[in-house]
C-alpha cells in the first residue's frame, strides 16, 4: 500500500471519529421566559420571539416556548427541564451557560418620586433601592449598598410614597407598567440609568452546548448581514447591534 493511500485512510478514520463525537443538532429548542408584553407574549408573539425564531428556525431548529416567572424560568434551565431561559443578564445565574452574543439590550430605569434629585449611575449607590427578586442588579450597578428584593410589583408605588425606598429599579417596559398604576403619575419620574445586554441562559448539558453553538454561529451571521434590523423596526425598538 502506498504512503499516500495510507495517509488518506488515516485521514478518513480521523474525520469519522470527529463526526462521531460531534452531537447532532436537535430539531427543536424549548425556551422559558417570563411574559413581557410585546416581547415574550404567551401566544408566541413579541420582539424576542421573532428574533429568536429568525436565529434558530433557518438552522432547522423549531422554537417552542414555555411561559413562567423569571426565577422559575432560570430554575428550569438549571435543571435541564428547558433548553434555556430568555432575558438573563450575563453571569446573573450559575449552573447555566452564557453565549458570546446577546440578542437584545435592556434599558434600565429608576422610578422614584419627582421631589427627589435625579439619580445617575454614579449617584445611585447613595439611595435606598428596590427591585424584584431574581434580578440581581447589585452585580451591575456600582457602589450599591442598600437594596431590598421584593416578591411582586403590586406594592411598589406605595413603598415609594411612604419612603420605604427611594428608587425602584426595573427595565423600562415594566417600570412604565408600574407607573401606569399610579393615581397621579406626575408625582413620579423615570430616569434612564444604563443599558444591560440580554442573553439566553442555556442549560449546562450537551444539548444546551450544541444549541448555544448554533445560536452564536447564527447571531454572528445575522448581525453581520443586518438581517435583524427590520424586526426591531417593526416593533419600534432600538437596534442594539
pLDDT digits (tens, 9 = 90+) for 102-144: 999 999 999 999 999 999 999 999 999 999 988 889 989 888 8
For the segment(s) 106-196, the CATH number from 3.40.605.10, 3.40.50.1450, 3.40.190.10, 3.40.50.620 is 3.40.190.10
Q: 24-104+197-234, what's its fold?
A: D-Maltodextrin-Binding Protein; domain 2 (3.40.190)
178-232 tens-digit pLDDT: 999 999 999 999 999 999 999 999 999 999 999 999 999 999 999 999 999 999 9
Confidence (pTM): 0.80
Q: In the block, which residue shows the cell 406605595?
A: 158
pLDDT of 3 over the 80 cut = no
Higher pLDDT, 150 or 61: 61
Residues near 18 by beta carbon (within 8 Å), at least 6 away in sequence? none
Matching fold, domains 24-104+197-234 and 106-196: yes
CA dihedral of residues 97, 99, 105, 110 (deg, nearest 10): 30
Could you tell me the residue ranges of all domains in the chain?
24-104+197-234, 106-196
C-alpha cell at 217: 454561529
Q: Give the contacts of 46 (CB within 8 A, at least 6 positions apart).
A: 36, 37, 38, 39, 40, 235
pLDDT, tens digit, 9 for 90 and up, residues 135-146: 889 989 888 889
Angle at which helix 47-56 crosses helix 206-225, to 10 degrees, equals: 100
**Neighbour tally for 200: CB within 10 Å:** 29
Measured distance CA(56)–CA(220) in Å, rounded: 13
Residues 6+ apart with CB under 8 A from 136: 89, 92
Q: What are residue 149's phi and psi, to 5 degrees?
A: -105, 125
H or E segment and range at residue 213: helix 206-225
Amino acid at each position: 500500500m502506498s504512503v499516500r493511500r495510507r495517509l488518506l485512510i488515516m485521514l478518513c478514520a480521523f474525520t469519522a471519529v470527529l463526526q462521531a463525537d460531534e452531537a447532532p443538532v436537535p430539531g427543536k429548542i424549548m425556551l422559558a421566559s417570563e411574559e413581557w408584553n410585546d416581547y415574550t407574549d404567551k401566544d408566541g408573539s413579541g420582539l424576542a420571539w421573532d428574533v429568536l425564531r429568525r436565529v434558530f428556525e433557518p438552522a432547522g431548529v423549531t422554537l417552542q416556548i414555555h411561559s413562567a416567572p423569571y426565577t422559575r424560568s432560570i430554575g428550569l434551565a438549571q435543571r435541564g427541564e428547558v433548553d434555556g431561559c430568555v432575558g438573563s443578564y450575563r453571569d446573573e445565574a450559575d449552573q447555566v451557560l452564557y453565549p458570546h452574543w446577546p440578542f437584545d439590550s435592556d434599558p434600565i430605569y429608576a422610578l422614584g418620586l419627582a421631589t427627589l434629585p435625579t439619580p445617575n449611575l454614579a449617584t445611585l449607590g447613595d439611595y435606598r433601592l428596590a427591585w424584584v427578586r431574581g434580578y440581581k442588579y447589585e452585580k451591575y450597578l456600582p457602589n450599591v449598598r442598600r437594596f431590598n428584593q421584593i416578591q411582586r410589583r403590586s406594592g411598589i408605588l406605595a413603598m415609594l410614597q411612604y419612603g420605604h425606598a427611594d428608587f425602584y429599579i426595573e427595565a423600562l417596559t415594566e417600570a412604565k407598567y408600574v407607573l401606569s398604576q399610579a393615581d397621579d403619575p406626575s408625582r413620579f419620574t423615570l430616569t434612564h440609568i444604563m443599558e444591560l445586554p440580554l442573553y439566553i441562559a442555556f442549560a449546562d448539558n450537551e444539548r444546551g452546548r450544541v444549541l448555544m453553538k448554533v445560536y452564536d454561529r447564527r447571531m454572528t451571521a445575522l448581525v453581520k448581514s443586518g438581517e435583524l434590523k427590520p424586526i426591531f423596526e417593526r416593533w419600534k425598538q432600538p437596534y442594539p447591534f
